[in-house]
Amino acid sequence: MGTVPRPMSPVLTALLLAAAGGFFAFTMLRRLAPLWALRRDDRADRAVERAAALLRFGLGQRRMVDPEEILPGLLHVTIFAAFLVLSLRTITLFGMGFDAAFHLPLLGPGTAIGRGYGFAKDLMVLLALAGALGFLWRRLVTKPDRVTRSWEGNLILLFIAGLMLTDMAFEGAERALAGLPFDRWAPAGALAAGLFSGLGIPAAATHAVGLAGFWSHLVLVLVFGNFLPYGKHFHIITALPNVYFQRLPPGGALRKLDLESEGASYGVRTAKDLSWKEALDTYSCTECGRCQTHCPTYVTGKPLSHKEVNRAIRRHLVERAPDLVRLARAKDAPAREAAEAALPALAEGVVPPETFWACTTCGWCETACPVFIENVPRLVDLRRHQVLVEASFPEEAARVFKAIETQGNPWGIGSNRRAEWCEDLAIPRASEGGDYEYLFFVGCAGAFDDRQKKVSRAIVKILRAAGVKFAILGEEETCNGEAARRLGNEYLYQQQAAANVEKLNGYGVRRILVQCPHCLNTMRNEFPQFGGAYEVVHHTELIARLVAERRIRPEAAEGLAGPVTFHDPCYLARWNGVTEAPREALAAVPGLALREMPRNRRQGFCCGAGGGRMWLEEKLGTRVNQNRVDEAALTLGEAGGVVATGCPFCLTMVKDGISETGREERLRVLDVAEIVASGLRT
- The smaller minimum CB distance to ligand SF4, of residues 446 and 657, is found at 657
CB of 538 to ligand SF4, least distance (A): 20
Among 242, 297, 576, 625, binds ligand SF4 (CB under 6 A): 297
Q: Side-chain half-sphere of 303: how many Cα atoms within 13 Å?
A: 11
Strand ranges of the sheet holding 667-671, from the earlier edge strand across to the other edge: 594-595, 564-566, 641-645, 667-671
Residues contacting residue 502 through CB under 8 Å, at least 6 positions apart: none
The answer to whether 588 and 556 are in contact (CB under 8 A) is no
- The smaller minimum CB distance to ligand SF4, of residues 287 and 618, is found at 287
CB of 364 to ligand SF4, least distance (A): 4
CA 547 – CA 566 distance, rounded (Å): 18
CB of 302 to ligand SF4, least distance (A): 9
CB burial readout 109-144, b (16+ within 10 A) else e:
eeeeeebebbbbbbbbbebbbbbbebbbebbeeeee
Instruction: Count Cβ atoms below 10 Å from residue 552 Cβ, excluding itself.
Output: 24
Among 163, 271, 351, 373, binds ligand SF4 (CB under 6 A): 373
CA 622 – CA 302 distance, rounded (Å): 8
Considering Cα of 344, then 349, then 350, then 351, what sign does the dihedral take?
positive
Q: Closest by alpha carbon to 10, among 98, 92, 91? A: 98
- The smaller minimum CB distance to ligand SF4, of residues 229 and 679, is found at 229
Among 117, 283, 364, 401, binds ligand SF4 (CB under 6 A): 364
Q: 441: alpha, beta or left, given left = phi > 0 and alpha = psi -120 to 50? A: beta
CB of 308 to ligand SF4, least distance (A): 9
What residues are paired with 471 via a beta bridge? Answer: 439
The stretch near ligand SF4 (CB under 6 A) out of 179-187, 299-307, 437-445, 638-646 is 299-307
CA 505 – CA 533 distance, rounded (Å): 9
- The smaller minimum CB distance to ligand SF4, of residues 174 and 287, is found at 287
361 is a contact residue toward ligand SF4 (CB under 6 A): yes
- The smaller minimum CB distance to ligand SF4, of residues 373 and 512, is found at 373
- # chain residues binding ligand SF4, by CB under 6 A: 27
The answer to whether 416 and 403 are in contact (CB under 8 A) is no
CB of 642 to ligand SF4, least distance (A): 26
- The smaller minimum CB distance to ligand SF4, of residues 296 and 648, is found at 296
What's the DSSP call for residue 560? -
- The smaller minimum CB distance to ligand SF4, of residues 359 and 560, is found at 359
253 is a contact residue toward ligand SF4 (CB under 6 A): no
What residues are paired with 439 via a beta bridge? Answer: 471, 512
625 is a contact residue toward ligand SF4 (CB under 6 A): no
CA 23 – CA 34 distance, rounded (Å): 18
CB of 363 to ligand SF4, least distance (A): 5
CA 165 – CA 162 distance, rounded (Å): 5
Residues 301-360 that bind ligand SF4 (CB under 6 A): 304, 306-307, 310, 359-360
CB of 65 to ligand SF4, least distance (A): 14
CB burial readout 627-666, b (16+ within 10 A) else e:
bbbebbbebbeeebbbbbbbbbbbbbbbbbbbeebebeeb
614 is a contact residue toward ligand SF4 (CB under 6 A): no
Q: Closest by alpha carbon to 563, among 527, 545, 589? A: 589
Among 226, 246, 375, 600, binds ligand SF4 (CB under 6 A): 375
The stretch near ligand SF4 (CB under 6 A) out of 40-48, 76-84, 112-120, 373-381 is 373-381
The stretch near ligand SF4 (CB under 6 A) out of 19-27, 88-96, 370-378, 483-491 is 370-378
Extended strands (E) in 495-628:
511-514, 535-538, 564-566, 594-595
- The smaller minimum CB distance to ligand SF4, of residues 291 and 459, is found at 291
Among 324, 368, 430, 459, binds ligand SF4 (CB under 6 A): 368
CB of 144 to ligand SF4, least distance (A): 13
The answer to whether 492 and 401 are in contact (CB under 8 A) is yes
Among 153, 296, 582, 679, binds ligand SF4 (CB under 6 A): 296
The answer to whether 157 and 150 are in contact (CB under 8 A) is no
- The smaller minimum CB distance to ligand SF4, of residues 234 and 566, is found at 234
The stretch near ligand SF4 (CB under 6 A) out of 101-109, 371-379, 551-559, 639-647 is 371-379
- The smaller minimum CB distance to ligand SF4, of residues 31 and 76, is found at 76
What residues are paired with 536 via a beta bridge? Answer: 512
CB of 286 to ligand SF4, least distance (A): 4
What's the DSSP call for residue 142? I
- The smaller minimum CB distance to ligand SF4, of residues 604 and 640, is found at 604
Instruction: Count Cβ atoms below 10 Å from residue 255 Cβ, excluding itself.
Output: 16
Residues 202-241 that bind ligand SF4 (CB under 6 A): none
Rounded to 5 degrees, φ, ψ at 643 are: -95, 120
Among 54, 253, 362, 537, binds ligand SF4 (CB under 6 A): 362
Q: 458: alpha, beta or left, given left = phi > 0 and alpha = psi -120 to 50? A: alpha
CB of 301 to ligand SF4, least distance (A): 12
CB of 525 to ligand SF4, least distance (A): 16
Q: Closest by alpha carbon to 532, among 253, 336, 297, 257? A: 253
CA 458 – CA 515 distance, rounded (Å): 11
Among 34, 134, 210, 363, binds ligand SF4 (CB under 6 A): 363
CB of 15 to ligand SF4, least distance (A): 36
- The smaller minimum CB distance to ligand SF4, of residues 76 and 454, is found at 76
- The smaller minimum CB distance to ligand SF4, of residues 532 and 604, is found at 604
CB of 625 to ligand SF4, least distance (A): 13
Residues 276-295 that bind ligand SF4 (CB under 6 A): 285-291, 295
522 is a contact residue toward ligand SF4 (CB under 6 A): no
Instruction: Count Cβ atoms below 10 Å from residue 296 Cβ, excluding itself.
Output: 27
Among 85, 96, 209, 376, binds ligand SF4 (CB under 6 A): 376
- The smaller minimum CB distance to ligand SF4, of residues 190 and 239, is found at 239
Q: Closest by alpha carbon to 632, among 600, 674, 586? A: 600
Q: Which helix (H) or strand (E) holds 581?
A: helix 580-587
What's the DSSP call for residue 562? S
560 is a contact residue toward ligand SF4 (CB under 6 A): no
CB of 309 to ligand SF4, least distance (A): 8
Rounded to 5 degrees, φ, ψ at 458 are: -65, -40
Chain residues binding ligand SF4 by CB under 6 A are 285-291, 295-297, 304, 306-307, 310, 359-365, 368-369, 371, 373, 375-376
